[in-house]
A and B are shown apart, each in its own frame.
Chain A
Amino acid sequence: MEDQIINLVNISKSYGGSEALKNMNLYIRKNEFLTLLGPSGCGKTTTLRIIGGFETPNSGRVLFEGKDITDVPPHKRRVNTVFQKYALFPHMNVAENIAFGLKIKGIADSDIKEKVKKVLELVNLAGYEKRSVNSLSGGQQQRIAIARAIVNEPEVLLLDEPLGALDLKLRKDMQFELKKIQQHLGITFIYVTHDQEEALTMSDTIVVMKDGLIQQIGTPEDIYNEPKNSFVADFIGESNIVKGKYIEDFKVAFADNIFDCVDTGFGVGEEVDIVIRPEDIKLVDIAEGMLKGKVTSVTFKGVHYEMIIHSMGIDWMVHSTSMEQVDSPVGIKISPDDIHIMKRVI
């Protein structure tokens, strides 16, 4: 409890009859980089806006360091937001934009100048004070938006898909920089994105959401290696999801074969989903394969080849650095701890 800074308690929110959040409970620890991840319409932005104070939940409470702030307006909350489209004030220059919050707090002009200079150095835009915000590139505007928020030294920074409008290269650089800034400042970041790779790269904790419900909370490693259900498995990285049947502890049947696995605790004979990551499938000589199949397509993806192997009526996606010829017969080998068994989602 001690290090929890924000608690969402039984939060529900609906817009004109459609539920955006369904009885959500979540706590956010001090100084962590927490990412709300999910497809559009999953409720992640609504969650962020409720924490920022731009939306009021229909029911439930928002606690900040244990105090109820559900009805506190945004301008009285100790959080700042980096908006999706930056929302820089077009009639002010860079320095005026960054100084906006400080001026309202009544901080002395000389201090403001100093703080603006420091924060511009932090976001690698030293000397940009007098520039018009309209003359900046997307990446630069993004940094100014971040600078404008963190100069107020908020305890929590909310970021609503801040890198969505940037190109791939810039996005990768900014991911790295954001993480650096977060560690440097030691403040809590709550980050909203639909980009799983972004979430895995930066986060301490990932909250995967779908249809207003939290699917899984965990570290990037947990989420990737031990997805709780086939939605999470499918959304985070690529997966082969096949139907299977739980035989008994450590035994599961799929693709007309029985495999050893490491899972226990399902009902005997229970219908389950089997998730196997494409990079966990090994292609071997056909005689050694657990399953026998034929290569139907090969695509070069840069680091690896993506191959589709047809076997037992299933198209298996396989990632490998070595290539097989199309139409060549191959064997498939899967080790027991790469077979992830999940409750069937109905």
Chain B
Amino acid sequence: MKLKWISYPYIVWMIIFILLPLFLILFYSVTYNTSEGLGFTLEYFQRFFEPIYINVLWRSFKLALVSTGVCLLLGYPMAMILADKELKNRNVMVLLFIIPMWMNFLLRTYAWMTLLERNGILNSLLGLLNIAPKDFLYNEGAVILGMVYNFLPFMVLPIYSVLIKIDKNLLEAAGDLGANSATTFRKIILPLSIPGVLSGVTMVFMPAVTTFVIPRLLGGGQFTLIGNLIEQQFLFVGDWGFGSAVSVIMLILILISMGVMGKYEKEQEGGGLW
């Protein structure tokens, strides 16, 4: 407790860059300017429930859910391979897996554009096989691909960190008691890895549902997701009140899903990243 003062800089940082902006967003979302000064309104929140915006919300959740699902299906086996006790050069494998994460997120997404565009590398390769060029870019598939590519490590790493901690003796004990490898996976490995799965799902779903760069670059702006909607309100439309209201709604939705996840995680006696 004597070292309490070393936390002061962080507390100042937190107030200026987290609490104050949060308060400002809340403030903008419920006030409007009149000639007599500020007035209170819930009109921005009401507006969000118009079908066009509910559609945006629905699409965001849908794409984020699909991406999270694909990440889970790809990431779990990947994590199992990495966590395999007999794997040689594990560190090299983990490094190879992490290296792309060191590169800037935007660069990686732009790289996909050059791969997928109409005159891009993929279509040139198809051309060699006499297949007419296809539109790979600017559709839902491209957006999901971008999300999966960017967020996959966030699924693999928490699952990996849980799998690697599972006592090898437990697997031998299961075998000893008559379980073949499929039963051992179903009854021992899978239940014990649930905390990692929950962490992974949270860490992929949260950024996926709010991303606006990926749909703008790979979706070509045709796929307005919730992140794009917020971005537009602030940067192009200038409707800070509505933008703030959408942000507040997203914040609440995220807090609710975090709460649900957290509850599960506690029941499973933790072990994830957070």
Count residues of A near B (Cβ-Cβ below 8 Å).
25
Chain B interface size range: 10 to 19
Q: Tell me whether A89 is interfacial, beta carbon within 8 Å.
A: yes
- B188 and A74 form a contact (CB under 8 A): no
Q: Is the CB–CB distance between B170 and A87 below 8 Å?
A: yes
Residues of B within 8 A of A104 (CB): 177-179, 183
Q: Flag A59-82 by CB within 8 Å of B: 1 or 0 each.
A: 000000000000001111001110
Q: Is B169's beta carbon under 8 Å from chain A?
A: yes
A80 x B177 contact (CB < 8 A):
yes
Q: Is the CB of B183 within 8 A of A87?
A: no
Task: Tell whether A105 is near chain B: CB-to-CB under 8 Å.
Answer: yes
> Is A27 positioned at the interface, with any CB of B under 8 Å from its CB?
no
Give the chain B neighbours of A85 by CB distance below 8 A: 167, 169
A53 to B191, CA, bound (A): 25
Interface residues of B in 166-183 (CB under 8 A from A): 167, 169-170, 172-180, 183
Contact of A266 with B by CB under 8 A: no
| Chain A: CB-nearest residue to B187 | A100
Once A89-B188, A104-B183 are accepted as A-B contacts, the answer to whether A75 and B175 lie under 8 Å apart by CB is yes
Given contacts A89-B188, A90-B192, A91-B191, contact A101 B170 (CB under 8 A): no
Q: Which of A52, A90, A105 contacts B176 (CB 8 A)?
A: A52
| Whole-angstrom CA separation of A85 from B173 in the bound complex | 11
Inter-subunit contact A83/B169 (CB<8 Å): yes
List, in ascending order, chain A residues with CB within 8 A of B183's CB. 104
Contact status A100-B177, CB under 8 Å? yes
Q: Are B180 and A75 in contact (CB under 8 A)?
A: yes
Q: How far is the CA of A152 from the CA of B179 in the complex (A)?
A: 13
Query: Taking the complex as formed, is A250 at the interface, i.e. its CB lies under 8 A from any CB of chain B?
Result: no
* A88 to B188 alpha-carbon distance, docked (Å): 11
- Give the distance in Å from the alpha carbon of A119 to the alpha carbon of B127 in the complex: 71
Inter-chain contact B172/A87, CB cutoff 8 Å = yes
Q: In the complex, how many angstroms separate the beta carbon of A63 from the nearest chain B beta carbon?
A: 19
B180: chain A residues at CB < 8 Å are 73, 75
Bound together, the chains give a CA A85 to CA B178 distance in angstroms of 19
Nearest opposing residue in chain B for A158, CB measure: B176
Check: A54 CB closer than 8 A to any chain B CB.
yes
In the complex, are the beta carbons of A74 and B172 less than 8 A apart? yes
Contacts of B170 in A (CB 8 A): 87, 89
Other-chain residue from A84, A90, A91, A152 in contact with B177 (beta carbon distance below 8 A): A152
Closest Cβ of chain B to A89, distance in Å, is 6
CB neighbours of B176 from chain A (8 A): 52, 54, 74-75, 79-81, 149
> When the two chains form the complex, which single residue of A53, A79, A87, A105 contacts B173, counting CB atoms closer than 8 Å?
A87
A148 within 8 A of B: yes
Instruction: Please encode chain B, from 230 to 274, with 1 for each CB lying within 8 Å of some chain A CB and 0 for all others.
Output: 000000000000000000000000000000000000001100000
| A87→B175 contact, CB < 8 A | no
A87 touches B192 (CB 8 A): no
Please judge, given known A-B contacts A89-B188, A90-B192, whether A54 and B177 are in contact too, CB under 8 Å: no
Residues of B within 8 A of A90 (CB): 192, 269
Q: In the complex, what residues of A have CB within 8 A of residue B268's CB? A: 91
Task: Please name all residues of chain B whose beta carbon is closer than 8 Å to the beta carbon of A87 when the two chains form the complex.
Answer: 167, 169-170, 172-173
Pick from A52, A54, A105: contact of B178, CB under 8 Å: A105
Q: Which chain B residue shows the least CB distance to A148? A: B177
Q: Which residues of B contact A83 (CB under 8 A)?
A: 169, 172-173
Determine the chain A residues whose CB is within 8 A of the CB of B178 once the complex forms: 75-76, 101, 104-105, 152
Roughly how many angstroms separate A104 CA and B175 CA in the complex, as a whole number? 11
Binary A-proximity of B136-173 (CB < 8 A = 1, otherwise 0) = 00000000000000000000000000000001011011
Tell whether, in the assembled complex, residue A54 and residue B172 are in contact, meaning their CB atoms are under 8 Å apart: yes
CB distance from B188 to the nearest CB of A (A): 6
CB-CB nearest in chain B for A83: B169
Task: Give the chain A neighbours of B179 by CB distance below 8 A.
Answer: 75, 100, 104
Complex-state Cα separation, A261 to B170, whole angstroms? 54
Residue among B173, B176, B183 with max Cβ neighbours from chain A (10 Å): B176
Give Cα A36 to B22, complex, Å: 68
B192 / chain A contacts, CB cutoff of 8 Å? 90-91
Write the nearest CB–CB distance from A95 to chain B, whole angstroms: 14
Closest to A74 in B: B175
Bound Cα distance from A89 to B166, whole angstroms: 10
The closest CB in chain B to the CB of A81 belongs to B176
In the complex the two chains form, what is the Cα distance from A88 to B173 in whole Å? 8
Tell whether, in the assembled complex, residue B191 and residue A81 are in contact, meaning their CB atoms are under 8 Å apart: no
Q: How far is the CA of A54 from the CA of B177 in the complex (A)?
A: 13
Residues of B within 8 A of A52 (CB): 176
Q: Which residue of B lies closest to A76 (CB)?
A: B178
A100:B172 contact, CB within 8 angstroms = no
Query: Besides the contacts A54-B176, A73-B175, what 6 more A-B pairs have beta carbons closer than 8 Å?
Result: A54-B175, A80-B177, A81-B173, A83-B173, A104-B183, A148-B177
CB-based closest 8 A-B pairs: A101-B177, A87-B169, A87-B173, A74-B175, A104-B178, A81-B176, A75-B175, A75-B178
* Cross-chain pairs A/B with CB under 8 angstroms, 20 sampled: A54-B176, A73-B175, A75-B179, A80-B176, A81-B172, A83-B173, A84-B169, A85-B169, A87-B170, A87-B172, A88-B173, A89-B188, A90-B269, A91-B191, A91-B192, A91-B268, A100-B174, A100-B187, A104-B178, A152-B177
